Structure 1
Amino acid sequence: MDKSRNPLLIIISFFSIYVIWGSTYLLNKIAVTELPPFMLASVRFISAGILIFIIALISGVKLTITKKQLLNTTIAGFLFLTLGNGLVVWALKYVDSSFAALEISAQPLVVLILMRIFEGKKIQAMSVVGVILGVIGIYLLVSQKQLLTSEDSVLGVLMIFTCMISWGYGSLFVGKADLPSNYFVNTGYQMLMGGFMLMLNSYLFGETWSLPMDWSFKVQYSLILLIIFGSIVAFTSFNYLLKVVSPEKVATSTYVNPIIATGLGWYFLKEQITTQTIVAAIILLTGVYFINTKKKLVIYSRFRDKKRQL
């Protein structure tokens, strides 16, 4: 048995990307109300990367990697963190945390389409149904009048779509790229490289930086949780899962993330949940289920069996 496919470790890793990442929408929303988005994301990931390297050195883990691995971790850091996460944090200035999580729940749909485009993977009948439901769900979600009346909200929606494409392609890239064999080290390099690129973006956009002692307690607390759990624990789990299970299975975190995010956003931030949002979420998550299920479409299966009999 492959030791890297430890069942208990896989379960813990899925819990991390399901529940912990579901709570990061709330934490980012709280922090971005006071801090510039690229600065916030940069501080989060650079701090997490440094902490990972310190823990690795104390544990006797070697940090040396090849030039190719450094390049690949830089690319992954850009796709996942600089673009994939940085724009989400920026978008949270304009949309609710629950809305962002629900829109991102269409991630498996994006991964499926990208796998079809770049890897030529055939889309099964059940997945076709899922894509149709996913498109309908997304349309219902983003077509709400109270959303479209705000130009900034529309910008937030488009930012999140860009993030989904970047994150989806990054999932495919990491699944095949030559990366550090130690998942902890791999995460550390991605965090540092992605964080430094976010710092550059912050400078280019003219963001004003401030010291932690100038932040409110809730922002300080949110950032600590984002660094330790949202970055170090969950992202290491994510990188591990991408190597031991398929990208589609990793993308199933979008089943749970929006539920966690919506509940927390409603409870702590008093975010409004409309009937249309609930309907859109049900349709969208049903579509995600169809995309990820291994079962075959009953009508298609029966037709094929009948054809064989003929």
Structure 2
Amino acid sequence: MKKETKIWVAFIAVCIIWGSTYLAIRIGVSKMPPFMFAGTRFLAAGTLMLLFAKIKGLEFPKKFIDIKNIAIVGLFLLLGGHGLVVWTEQWVASGIASILVATVPLFMAIIEFIKPNGIKLSIKGWTGLLVGFLGVVFLTLSKSSAVIDIKGTVFLLSASLLWAMGSVYQKTFEATGSTVTHIGIEMVAGGISLLILGLSIGEASRFAFSTTGLAAMLYLIFFGSIIGYSSYIYVLQNWPSSKAGTYAYINPIVAVILGALILKEPLSLRMIFSTVIILFGVILVQTSKTNQ
């Protein structure tokens, strides 16, 4: 197989696998308490990633400050961002969750704009922000109970904000060690913190493995975390980040289709139109950055 073909296979894998994780999460939290479900997933995946790195002789971070910074990223992304997504998917459809999480680039643009010496937004960028958030409003204000309530919207937008904060923070430091070890540390930090949170609110009494819940967790560990991340790293190493990041435009489409086909989640014209509006806003913001 030619290298370019391998890159495209990896990219398609990222689009499909990461788009399908919303479905797996929705199935998992219907059988297990959310934070312990997510915590077990990331602790297991992170441990496996670090073991793989050790066996392969990959470099680990050499300084405590590097480990601390990497762990902080894991707390933002996984405890904050992912934790709120998992919590919200207890009552919000997986397709809807994926649509609102697609707003992450909008929040990243805002954070990068307001931070000291931040990136200025062009008219195109501001237009993209306006369009993207209008899409959120259009989706949320639907009178149909099959869409989403205000509480779910607030939680998912908060998840997107925290994920964006972690992503921007990650750009503020350069840590020693390989990318694989960084991901492993992020997952372990996020997994432990999610488990602690779950235990602190009494999820232990409700935590029990079921066939369906275990299958969802194993899928998320091996496909969502290990194969998905590895494929994305491979794509990122061979394509510009702007091109590699276009998977984010496809994930919501995959999630909505899978949710409708497998879980019979409602699929309305309002959902489709909202998705188009939000993704169009994201594209405007992203392309405004590359054109500066």
| TM, length-normalised to structure 2 | 0.87
What is the distance in 1 between the residues matched to 2:147 and 2:249?
A: 29
Q: Cα–Cα, structure 1 residues 203 and 249, in superposed 2: closer, same or farther, change >3 Å? A: farther
Q: Which residue of 1 aligns with 2:21?
A: 24
Larger Rg: 1
Tell me if the contact between 1:140 and 1:277 (Cα under 8 Å) persists in the aligned partners: no
Q: Deviations over 1:1-38 (max 9, x none)?
A: xxxxx978875664454322111000000000011110
The answer (yes or no) to whether the contact 1:252–1:292 under 8 Å persists in 2 is no
For the structure 1 residues 202 and 245, does the alpha-carbon distance in structure 2 shift closer, same or farther, using more than 3 Å as the test? farther
Q: Distance in 1 between matches of 2:103 and 2:54?
A: 38
Which aligned pairs between 1:70-109 and structure 2 lie closer than 5 A?
70-109=67-106
**2:260 is matched with which residue: 266, 269, 275?**
266
- 8 Å CA contact 1:18–1:254 kept in 2: the answer is yes
The answer (yes or no) to whether the contact 2:31–2:212 under 8 Å persists in 1 is no
Matched, 1:66 2:63: yes
The letter of the residue matching 1:71 is: K
Return the match for 1:182 from 167, 178, 183: 178
Query: For the residues of structure 2 that align with 1:245 and 1:234, how far apart are their CA atoms?
Result: 16
Q: What RMSD in Å do the two structures reach over aligned CA positions?
A: 2.9
Quote the residue 2:143 is aligned against.
145
The one-letter code of the counterpart of 1:125 is I
* TM-superposed deviation, 1:163: 0.8
User: CA separation of 1:247/1:175 partners in 2, compared to 1, >3 Å: closer, same or farther?
Assistant: farther
In 1, the alpha carbon distance for the partners of 2:53 and 2:151 equals 40
Asked whether the 8 Å contact 2:14–2:232 carries over to 1, the reply is yes
Structure 2 Cα separation of the partners of residues 193 and 250 of structure 1? 26
Which residue number in structure 1 is paired with residue 274 of structure 2? 280
Q: Paired residue for 2:192, among 186, 192, 196?
A: 196
Number of matched residues? Answer: 288
5+ residue gaps, structure 2, are none
More deviation, 199-208/250-259: 250-259
Task: For 1:27 and 1:233, locate their aligned partners in 2 and report how far apart those are by CA, in whole Å.
Answer: 15
Contact 2:140 2:153 in 1 (8 A): yes
Matches within 5 A, 1:1-310: 14-63=11-60, 65-118=62-115, 119-147=117-145, 153-208=149-204, 215-236=209-230, 252-293=246-287
- Per the TM alignment, residue 133 of structure 1 is displaced from its structure 2 partner at its CA by 1.2
- Paired residue secondary structure (2:186): helix
Deviation at 1:209, TM superposition (A): 5.4
Give the distance between the partners of 1:295 and 1:205, measured in 2 at CA: 42
In the TM superposition, residue 234 of structure 1 has moved relative to its aligned partner by: 2.6
Instruction: Provide, for residues 36-61 of structure 1, a one-character-per-residue CA deviation record: whole Å limited to 9, x for no partner.
Output: 11001100000001111221222223
C-alpha separation in 2, matches of 1:126 and 1:86: 32
Deviations 1:231-287 (A, max 9, x none): 123335557878998876665433111000001000000000122111111111111
Alpha-carbon distance in 2 for matches of 1:296, 1:184: 27
Distance 2:111 2:19 in 1: 24
TM-score (norm 1): 0.83
